[in-house]
Amino acid sequence: MAADKIFGVHGAALQLRSERLGVLASNIANAATPNYKARDLDFDRAMEMVREGDDTQEAMSETMGYRIPLQPSMDGNTVELSTEQTLFAENAVQYSTTLSFLEGRVNSITRALRGE
């Protein structure tokens, strides 16, 4: 794909980051639902799959797993807000980082096109 040559892995990474944002948001949304099992995807493995040519949706469902809670609660819910909040924040920062890489690429290409 032409876009891959320009953006490298960052395009796919951004997509995976945004998918993961949804998964972590789901966990936080279900913090009080009895029997809800917190889920997350294995980002490293998903990224590996994307680099080998799978699409992000496929990589996401393939690497999806359940979180092992540090302290299981009585109602069967495995969401631990401290864990989820931390990962959510981390994922948001990584999204921003990927975004600035992309932005850098876009800026240098537009500069090149303008002949600056």
Partner 1 sequence: MNVFDISGRAMSAQLTRMNTTASNLANARTTYSSEAEAYRALKPVFRTTMEENGLATVDVEQVVQSDTQPTRRYDPNNPIADNEGYVWEAGVDEAAELIDMMETARQYQNNVQVLQTAKSLILDTVRMGK
74's tokens:
């009585």
- The answer to whether 62 contacts partner 1 (rule: CB under 8 A) is no
CA 75 from centroid of its chain's CA atoms: 28
- Sign of the dihedral through C-alpha 39, 70, 91, 86: positive
- The answer to whether 76 contacts partner 1 (rule: CB under 8 A) is no
Q: Which of residues 24-43 bind partner 1 (CB under 8 A)?
A: 25-26, 28-36, 39, 41
- The answer to whether 55 contacts partner 1 (rule: CB under 8 A) is no
- The answer to whether 73 contacts partner 1 (rule: CB under 8 A) is no
Q: Which of residues 97-116 bind partner 1 (CB under 8 A)?
A: 99, 102-103, 106-107, 110
CB 1 → partner 1: shortest distance, Å? 18
111's tokens:
């500069």
7's tokens:
């953006």
Task: Please state, in angstroms and rounded to a whole number, the distance separating the CA atoms of residues 57 and 91.
Answer: 18
6's tokens:
């320009």
Return the DSSP state at 1: -
Interface residues toward partner 1, by CB under 8 A: 14, 18-19, 21-23, 25-26, 28-36, 39, 41, 57, 60-61, 64, 81, 85, 88-89, 92, 95-96, 99, 102-103, 106-107, 110
